[in-house]
């Protein structure tokens, strides 16, 4: 296990050096008091989407441990307000068990509820932006709590107004779900196949959750203390979105492998980062075990700490992959997690 005096103890990668100061808060009042102390601050909750430097973080780290779910059900619509520090999968499990539809395909994602709007968490055809109605935040510039409706959150693919923006600290998130024992239309082909339904059809909530958990576990995307393949930040790189003309160029370069998987993204095309990584020569398990890091043996998008790794070794692996994909296909991959006191 990571040394408890380092931030490695609070991240799913199990990497990261010491904090200048560590404050744990369990209530919103405590959180506000800590946030108002000023100075350089890092907010950590689940630690599932952050890469912390080996040198650690010299400022104050606020461990957000607030919990609680408040519900309001009216006319078949559920308003679900969740404290930022509440574990996300507990929220999904509660919604599914109570027959509330809208987040079932987001099962098994580690981290906290407050992290979901920051990068507009998505998986298997759902994104939280589809169900978030508002986000309660502490606005550091105004030194007050404000509530931002979804339209002001700047949601886009794996990003929002909150990402890489120290002004806002998420305190709570309100989701708008539907009372139904059926899922939203299953948009993701792999999930539809697993469920035995056609894309666009619905399925029982419990079956969708079970199928998603099974798919994620098969890719090492469900945390398991005994499995180093899950000691990661999940997908390290976002799926690149390129102009249509660039897609034609990539398709020509990849002709020996067949047509690259792709999805429409407005006037552009979204590509599969995992597919590009593997075809650029980085297979599952690729890495430098002498430095304690490698790609997951289950999925090429997950960079893992095998137990003896360092942040710098992990970032060196990320740099090699990014350079290899760019050299082979002319596509630049961008990291999905927040990099703290480090860069690639």
Residue 86 reports pLDDT greater than 70: yes
Q: Higher-confidence residue: 289 or 341?
A: 341
pLDDT per residue as tens digits for the range 188-243: 999 999 999 999 999 999 999 999 999 999 999 999 999 999 999 999 999 999 99
CB proximity list for 331: less than 8 A, separation 6 or greater: 240, 242, 246, 250, 271, 276, 325
- Mean model confidence pLDDT for the chain: 96
Please give the average per-residue pLDDT across 93-112, as a whole number: 98
What's the pLDDT band for 184 if we cut at 50, 70, 90?
A: very high
Q: Please give the positions annotated as active site.
A: 158, 235, 336
The Cα–Cα gap between 114 and 170 comes to 6
The Cα–Cα gap between 221 and 300 comes to 11
2-6, 62-66, 131-135, 188-192: lowest mean pLDDT where? 2-6
Residue 1 reports pLDDT greater than 70: no
Residue 19 reports pLDDT greater than 80: yes
Q: Determine the pLDDT at residue 196.
A: 97
Q: Determine the pLDDT at residue 5.
A: 73
Please give the average per-residue pLDDT across 63-86, as a whole number: 98
Q: How many CA atoms lie within 13 A of 119 on its CB side?
A: 21
Please give the average per-residue pLDDT across 299-305, as a whole number: 97
- pTM as predicted: 0.92
The Cα–Cα gap between 105 and 123 comes to 7
Residue 246 reports pLDDT greater than 60: yes
Each residue of 83-121: b (16+ CB within 10 Å) or e? bbbbbbbebbbbbbeebbbbbbbbbbbbbbbbbbbbbbb
Q: Which residue has the tokens 């510039």?
A: 141
Q: Higher-confidence residue: 279 or 289?
A: 279
Q: Determine the pLDDT at residue 4.
A: 56
The Cα–Cα gap between 123 and 163 comes to 18
What's the pLDDT band for 2 if we cut at 50, 70, 90?
A: low
What's the pLDDT band for 78 if we cut at 50, 70, 90?
A: very high
3-class SS at 201?
coil
Residue 113 reports pLDDT greater than 70: yes
> Is 126 within 8 Å of 199 (Cβ atoms)?
no
């Amino acid at each position: 296990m990571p040394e408890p005096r380092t931030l490695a103890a609070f991240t799913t990668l199990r990497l990261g050096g010491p904090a200048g100061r560590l404050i744990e808060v369990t209530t919103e009042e405590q959180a506000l008091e800590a946030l108002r102390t000023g100075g350089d601050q890092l907010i950590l909750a689940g630690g599932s989407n952050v890469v912390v430097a080996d040198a650690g973080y010299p400022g104050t780290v606020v461990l957000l441990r607030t919990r609680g779910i408040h519900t309001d059900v009216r006319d078949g619509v559920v308003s679900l307000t969740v404290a930022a520090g509440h574990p996300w999968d507990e929220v999904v499990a509660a919604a599914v068990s109570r027959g509330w539809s809208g987040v079932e395909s987001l099962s098994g994602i580690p981290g906290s509820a407050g992290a979901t709007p920051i990068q507009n968490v998505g998986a298997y055809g759902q994104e939280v932006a589809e169900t978030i109605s508002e986000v309660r935040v502490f606005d550091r510039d105004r030194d007050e709590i404000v509530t931002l409706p979804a339209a002001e959150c700047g949601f886009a693919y794996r990003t929002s107004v909150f990402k890489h923006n120290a002004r806002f600290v998420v305190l709570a998130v309100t989701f708008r779900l539907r009372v139904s024992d059926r899922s939203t239309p299953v948009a993701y082909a792999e999930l539809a196949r697993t469920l035995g339904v056609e894309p666009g059809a619905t399925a029982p909530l419990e079956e969708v959750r079970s199928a998603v958990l099974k798919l994620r576990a098969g890719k090492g995307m469900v945390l398991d203390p005994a499995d180093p393949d899950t000691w990661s930040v999940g997908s390290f790189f976002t799926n690149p979105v390129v102009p249509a003309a660039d897609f034609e160029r990539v398709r020509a370069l990849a002709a020996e492998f067949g047509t690259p998987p792709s999805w429409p993204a407005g006037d552009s095309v979204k590509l599969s980062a995992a597919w590009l990584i593997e075809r650029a020569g980085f297979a599952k398990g690729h890495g430098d075990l002498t430095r304690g890091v490698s790609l997951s043996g289950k999925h090429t998008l997950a960079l893992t700490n095998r137990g003896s790794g360092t942040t710098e070794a992990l970032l060196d692996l990320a740099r090699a992959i990014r350079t290899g994909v760019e050299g082979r296909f002319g596509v630049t991959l961008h990291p999905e997690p927040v990099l703290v006191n480090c860069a690639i």
